[in-house]
Chain A
Amino acid sequence: MYRSVKESEKRVRIICTTVLFLFAIVWLIPIVWVILNSFKTNTEFVASYSNFNGRWEYLKAILPESINFGSYISLFTGEGVPTVANIDKMIINSIIVSVSQTIIVLVITSMSAFAYERLEFPIGDKVFWLLFFITLIPGSVSILPLFKICYALGWVNNINALIWPQVAGVMNIFLLRNFMKSIPKEMDEAARIDGASNFAIYRTVIVPSIQPVLMVVALFAFKAAWNDYLWPTIVMNEPNNQTLTSGLALLKGQYDVAQWTNLLASAVISMIAPFLLYMTCQKYFLRGISVSASVKG
């Protein structure tokens, strides 16, 4: 009997693997199509879809005849288009916003989580849950006043408006706190007996041991900053102040007339950064998520 169970399990494994691999191919088709077509020239792109000689021809036409970086280069030089939106400025904006926001989020939320979780703090829990319940109120209410605040601060069309308003998420503190619960308190106490101050404990004991969840928070923060669409379109009026995400819509207006491959190339460019970050912290990813109690209950 034992053997048959093992064999049926093996069969299930093979079926699952095959089905998932096939599904993964379908899953990736749009991305692969965009990447491959971004290497075509515009005339080649149009030609590959104009004469329809059966499905096989069509599939073959997905592959570019040769790798051509022309559409990427002309995105930056602005060749042949009335350049209103500069992609290089947008890339720089996106990088500044996402990197600075990620760093600020990591510092302030890990410090808060440390205080709520590890310091003698009589009203700490009350404060935390108060903040938590306030964030459950949907963001649609706050987005117009947030614009007014940025206007009062003189931040309309200023990159500060993209960095600061988004840093105070409570969910990140929640994740960090739950991860900290899994680190024995004895470690703090041992350090304290050795004469370490609270800040030294935070820096030398807590931060190194919560590294996995810090990576997860970093990925989420970076992703949120990089991919935010609504807020930059509200607070930035100038095309060159947009981030890559919000600016792609402008580029679409600009290139939609005839330069399709440029658009596809810009889509590929905007995928790169979050993907690289995911690759670097993939090792910690599942572990970081699974230890947080938002998941375990």
Chain B
Amino acid sequence: MKRNTIATGLLLAFIVSFVLSGVTAVSTAKDVVVSTTVSHLASVYSLSSAAVLILPFIMVFMLMALLSFLAKQKNVGFMFTALSVVCYVAFLIAYCAETRNTSMYNTLNAMFQEQGLRVKKRDFFITVTPQWTCYLTVLLGLATCAVSLPDLRTSTTRYSLKCELEPYAYIAPHVLFFTLFTLVPIIYGVYTAFTKWDIYNEPVFVGLENFKTILFAQGNTYYGQLRNGLWNTVKFVLYNTPFGMVLPLALAMALRKVTRGNKFLQSVFYLPALMSTTTVMLAWTYFFRKTYGFAPNFFGTTFEWFAPPYSWLMLVIITAWWSNGTNMVIFQSSLASIPEDQYEAASIDGANAVQKFWYVTIPNMSYTLMYTFVTTVISHFNVYGQPNLMMGYNYEGANAVLMMYIKDTAFQQGVAGIASAMALILAAVIMVVAWIQLRMMMKDSKN
């Protein structure tokens, strides 16, 4: 048999053994011994300590090793197997050295309480030992490495090994951070939407309970919050997106005609995009404040600008002003890349300015417009800062958007499971809308 096939088989055994193994946590108090077994997969679900954070990497490395062996890249497979073994050993050492892992502590403490014992936190000692399957896993991993070990005696193999492995070294830092801070949170976020969770402890799986509450339990606080928050978010997107597209496009097109002071004007219109939400909101709320603000006194208005319905107007003005720059520079560069001779040809055919816009500018910018349209809508769906800083939950949450409810449900009220479910619904809405946009525009560009 080929060594590659053997290595693949051993790797599969390694993976299966990893999935099945776990650690035993034991604690003794007043001659009562309680113990629990925590499988590795269960500890990933709890994300309870720094040591546990190594586990996702082991899984990614295993997956990469398997893919490499299947693609007949034995050397790359060797590297990833070796990495997963090293990480696994590091995990075992770090995990067993941990004396106070929150999820283990909670489980063992509950077991003591069942027996009628109350153990003080400072008397609580946990001993963690790996099960025998853990050692088997390490052995299987080492065996996989041994079988797939490249022949390092010839210089050609060494050189080709270096060439094969080098790209991975370059992408490694980025992929590591990406795995830990983007991939794991996304998977975990989807999982916790189906759990009862207080954000600090282990989530408990409850199935569709959260979704039943927020989607169908009429009269429930969270039901009302989701509806109000989602509706306000959708309103925010609907009101702001037209201005977020048309104003930057108009400014970019006008700027193209300007020769003197072009750089200056561009900087002026880009300027607000450099500022933070808090700065922008501070400036505008003071500018339009009823007492001592400039605008209400200057225009002689007596109403409160930051109360509905005017608050929506303010949100649109402020958001258009603030986010204009980002899209404007993209439009500018896209406009600059349209060949001048197309305009000349159009003028020779007797096209007027409007016709040139519809038949030359827009088709040339179709890709840019699609891209900015989708990104603008997505960024508006994720709105948090402006409504939160402008009026928070005042006026019965007339401007409260879903991100505000998600954050406060999770961190103020400690109902993170519900918050995760809300977040998942928001994400689903965003993705569906983006997908519809892309589909419609693809169709348009084909016709």
A residues at B contact (CB < 8 Å) = 5, 12-13, 16-17, 19-21, 24, 27-31, 33-34, 45-46, 49-50, 52, 55, 58-59, 62, 107-109, 111-112, 114-116, 119-124, 127, 131, 134-149, 151-154, 164-168, 170, 173, 198, 202, 223, 226-227, 229-230, 234, 244-246, 248-249, 252, 260, 263-264, 266-267, 270-271, 274-275, 278, 282, 285-286, 289-290, 294-297
Docked Cα-Cα span, A275 to B168, in Å, equals 37
Closest CB of chain B to A155's CB: distance in Å?
9
B109 lies within 8 A of chain A by Cβ? no
Contact A245 B278 (CB under 8 A): yes
Contact A297 B174 (CB under 8 A): no
The contact of A146 among B177, B185, B263, B332, by CB within 8 Å, is B185
- Near A by CB (< 8 A), chain B positions 420-440 give 420, 423-424, 426-427, 430-431, 434
Chain B residues in 8 Å Cβ range of A121: 167
Chain A residues in 8 Å Cβ range of B263: 282
Contact B199 A112 (CB under 8 A): no
Contact B282 A114 (CB under 8 A): no
Docked Cα-Cα span, A127 to B381, in Å, equals 28
Docked Cα-Cα span, A120 to B254, in Å, equals 45
Chain B residues in 8 Å Cβ range of A147: 199, 410-411
- Near A by CB (< 8 A), chain B positions 132-184 give 163-164, 166-168, 170-171, 173-175, 177-178, 180-184
Contact A229 B177 (CB under 8 A): no
- Chief secondary structure at chain A's binding surface: helix
- Given that A111-B170, A138-B431, A230-B384 are known contacts, is A271 also in contact with B337, CB under 8 Å in the complex? no
Closest CB of chain B to A27's CB: distance in Å?
6
Number of interface residues of B (CB under 8 A): 104
Q: A20-B254, A148-B47, A229-B385 are in contact. List 4 more A-B contacts (CB 8 A).
A: A24-B265, A34-B287, A249-B278, A296-B368
Chain B residues in 8 Å Cβ range of A49: 291-294, 297
The contact of B277 among A137, A144, A229, by CB within 8 Å, is A229
Docked Cα-Cα span, A30 to B258, in Å, equals 24
Contact B171 A112 (CB under 8 A): yes
Chain B residues in 8 Å Cβ range of A111: 170-171, 173-174
Chain A residues in 8 Å Cβ range of B163: 120
Chain B residues in 8 Å Cβ range of A246: 278
Contact A119 B167 (CB under 8 A): yes
Contact A152 B53 (CB under 8 A): yes
The contact of A274 among B180, B274, B294, B297, by CB within 8 Å, is B274
Contact A144 B199 (CB under 8 A): yes
Docked Cα-Cα span, A123 to B168, in Å, equals 10
- Near A by CB (< 8 A), chain B positions 239-284 give 251, 254-255, 257-261, 263, 265-279, 282-284
B234 lies within 8 A of chain A by Cβ? no
Contact B294 A168 (CB under 8 A): no
Docked Cα-Cα span, A264 to B242, in Å, equals 31
- Given that A111-B173, A138-B382, A271-B275 are known contacts, is A294 also in contact with B371, CB under 8 Å in the complex? yes
Chain A residues in 8 Å Cβ range of B287: 29-30, 33-34
Most chain A beta-carbon neighbours within 10 Å: one of B49, B284, B294, B430: B294
The contact of A267 among B174, B200, B271, B279, by CB within 8 Å, is B279
Closest CB of chain B to A43's CB: distance in Å?
12
Docked Cα-Cα span, A226 to B271, in Å, equals 15
CB closest chain-B residue, reference A226: B276
Chain B residues in 8 Å Cβ range of A167: 177, 181
The contact of A295 among B270, B286, B366, B368, by CB within 8 Å, is B368
CB closest chain-A residue, reference B430: A138
Docked Cα-Cα span, A141 to B277, in Å, equals 22
29 A-B pairs, CB-CB below 8 angstroms? A5-B347, A13-B257, A27-B272, A28-B271, A30-B283, A31-B271, A34-B282, A49-B292, A49-B294, A50-B292, A109-B174, A111-B171, A123-B67, A131-B178, A135-B182, A138-B381, A138-B427, A140-B430, A145-B188, A148-B47, A166-B181, A168-B177, A202-B170, A227-B277, A229-B276, A244-B276, A248-B282, A266-B282, A271-B275
Chain A residues in 8 Å Cβ range of B282: 34, 248, 252, 263-264, 266-267
Closest CB of chain B to A192's CB: distance in Å?
12
Docked Cα-Cα span, A211 to B277, in Å, equals 29
The contact of A140 among B199, B254, B266, B426, by CB within 8 Å, is B426
Contact A12 B278 (CB under 8 A): no
B333 lies within 8 A of chain A by Cβ? yes
Contact B292 A142 (CB under 8 A): no
The contact of A249 among B260, B286, B366, B389, by CB within 8 Å, is B389
Contact B368 A12 (CB under 8 A): no
Docked Cα-Cα span, A31 to B271, in Å, equals 10
Chain A residues in 8 Å Cβ range of B398: none
Contact B271 A141 (CB under 8 A): no
Docked Cα-Cα span, A119 to B171, in Å, equals 11
B88 lies within 8 A of chain A by Cβ? no
- Given that A138-B426, A144-B199, A223-B274 are known contacts, is A52 also in contact with B185, CB under 8 Å in the complex? no
CB closest chain-B residue, reference A155: B50
Contact B177 A108 (CB under 8 A): yes
Contact B53 A295 (CB under 8 A): no
Contact A33 B407 (CB under 8 A): no
Contact A230 B407 (CB under 8 A): yes
CB closest chain-A residue, reference B190: A141
CB closest chain-B residue, reference A274: B274
Contact B267 A168 (CB under 8 A): no
B419 lies within 8 A of chain A by Cβ? yes
Contact B47 A270 (CB under 8 A): no
Chain A residues in 8 Å Cβ range of B333: 286, 289-290, 295
Chain B residues in 8 Å Cβ range of A30: 283-284, 287, 321
Closest CB of chain A to B242's CB: distance in Å?
18
The contact of B419 among A50, A119, A144, by CB within 8 Å, is A144
Contact B173 A108 (CB under 8 A): yes
Contact A58 B298 (CB under 8 A): yes
CB closest chain-B residue, reference A124: B167
The contact of B185 among A141, A170, A249, A264, by CB within 8 Å, is A141
Contact B297 A52 (CB under 8 A): yes
B192 lies within 8 A of chain A by Cβ? yes
B204 lies within 8 A of chain A by Cβ? no
Closest CB of chain A to B431's CB: distance in Å?
7
B406 lies within 8 A of chain A by Cβ? yes
